[in-house]
Amino acid sequence: MSEDVYILGIKMTKFGKHKELDTLDLASEATLAALKDGGVTMKDMGIIAAGNLMSGPLPIAQTIQKQCGQTGIPAYNVSNACATGATALRVAIMSVKAGESDFGLAVGVEKLAGAGLLVGGARQEDDAAWQRSGRYGAVAPVDGRIGTEIMPGVFAQIGMEYGHKYGGANFELFAQISEKNHWHSTLNPLAAYSKLMSLEEIMNDIMIAYPNTRPMCSANCDGAAAAVVVSGSKLKTLSQEQQRRAVKIAASVLTSDPYEEGCQVLPNVNTLTRNAAKQAYEQAGVGPKDLGLVELHDCFATAELVHYDNLMLCEEGGAVDFFKSGAPRRDGSMPVNVSGGLQSKGHPIAATGIANIWEVCHHLRGEAGPRQIEGAKVGLAHVIGLGSACGIHILEKSVA
């Protein structure tokens, strides 16, 4: 039987603009804080996995070690779009499960404040005439020709497609989802933005890609998050307090796009998320109704709606009714994104996967303060990285 794995220590920095701090500063802050939170040191770690997408060619895992302690352990540098942090954590989990390490460290960090729209390479050619070149020379860029590869546009289309298929999803409803998340953020001191926004403010703000206005889009910002994982057998040798605060990783799943016949007009964030959710529920031995809270990848308000369905929080096609029932509000039956989500908490790409897990752990430990979801025993953290990757972790409260 494979080894159980627990999150022993976990921390995120405040997300936002940190002009005075560079990538290494932020990564080191999160790393040292996570180690302290777990009551361990870098010397205890048997593996480090770290991710960073936008801050240069240096291997971030080794760079963190130079700052926080070099001990000769394996260092994995991870790159998996917005799922980078969750993937780094999964690398550490797999090492512990395999019996190679008693402790593992995962880190995600990004400097993104002021980055503007993330285009994913969509506007590499500005010439009106397409010219064949390179490995992908048989395929013209789609941006401005048959659609868009710019993230607000991609997820706008995904949300509108859901509304067209099932009905009920209109501009106002998507704005109400954003209103919920901005309300949630007012209780999160580490969020990039903790501002209550009215429905009118959200709907009348700058339109980025219909139906997503500016407050309905994830906030590019600076930040880092880190987690320490430990094997179940090693945990039993630690203090009662460490055992009490440890959070069991009941499921850790990573999926990519399955084969689909024909041309994929839009990135299919639905299928790979639903596949990951099915695997995670089976691995954890729980179902959606067992969840006390969910942190999902609301890179845009439209994304949150479709992921209610993809994560099976509602019946297929029932995401609009699920939202209208009030279930995903922090005072509802299935709180979603009580951190404020990516729209308010912020989205430093490589850090987001671990930051979502930090939020869930915070509640399962009973340490979330004014935003605490009372009685939470099981939580789910979800992240999507276009390319595509989906990471889902199901976490359980310690019984120690």
Q: DSSP letters of 222-285? A: BEEEEEEEEEHHHHTTS-HHHHHH-EEEEEEEEEEPPP-SS--SS--HHHHHHHHHHHHHHHHT
Q: What is the pTM of this model?
A: 0.94
**Beta-bridge mates of residue 227:** 10, 106
Q: What is the pLDDT of residues 276-307, one digit of tens each?
A: 999 999 999 999 999 999 999 999 999 999 99
Q: Which alpha helices (DSSP H) does 69-167 contain, by range?
A: 84-97, 151-166
Q: Which two tokens stand for residue 328?
A: 């995903």
Higher pLDDT, 62 or 137: 62
pLDDT at 1: 47
pLDDT at 134: 75
pLDDT at 121: 47
Asked if residue 308 belongs to a domain, the reply is yes
Cα(329)–Cα(257) distance, rounded to whole angstroms?
Answer: 30
216-222 average pLDDT score: 94
Asked if residue 71 belongs to a domain, the reply is yes
pLDDT at 245: 97
Asked if residue 161 belongs to a domain, the reply is no
Asked if residue 156 belongs to a domain, the reply is no
pLDDT reading at 351 higher than 80 = yes
Bridge-based pairing state of the strands 103-110 and 75-78: unpaired
Asked if residue 151 belongs to a domain, the reply is no
Cα(267)–Cα(83) distance, rounded to whole angstroms?
Answer: 15
pLDDT reading at 246 higher than 80 = yes
pLDDT band at 386 (very low <50, low <70, confident <90, very high): confident
Report the number of distinct structural domains present in the chain.
1
Distant-in-sequence, close-in-space partners of 315: CB < 8 Å, separation ≥ 6:
none
pLDDT at 149: 76
Instruction: From 350, 318, 277, 273, select the one nearest 88 (Cα to Cα).
Output: 350
Asked if residue 58 belongs to a domain, the reply is yes
For the chain, the average pLDDT equals 92
Asked if residue 95 belongs to a domain, the reply is yes
65-86 average pLDDT score: 96
Asked if residue 320 belongs to a domain, the reply is yes
Kindly report the CATH number assigned to the domain that includes residue 315: 3.40.47.10
Helix (H, G, I), strand (E, B) or coil at 131: coil
Bridge-based pairing state of the strands 103-110 and 207-209: unpaired
Cα(80)–Cα(150) distance, rounded to whole angstroms?
Answer: 18
Provide φ and ψ at 191, rounded to 5°: -70, 150
pLDDT at 36: 98
Q: Which domain covers residue 23, as residue numbers?
A: 5-114+219-396
Instruction: From 153, 115, 123, select the one nearest 267 (Cα to Cα).
Output: 153
Bridge-based pairing state of the strands 48-51 and 103-110: parallel
Average the pLDDT over each of 110-119, 162-171, 250-259, 363-372 and give the range with the smallest value: 110-119
Instruction: From 108, 8, 102, select the one nearest 391 (Cα to Cα).
Output: 108
Cα(211)–Cα(157) distance, rounded to whole angstroms?
Answer: 9
Instruction: From 108, 76, 72, select the one nearest 92 (Cα to Cα).
Output: 76
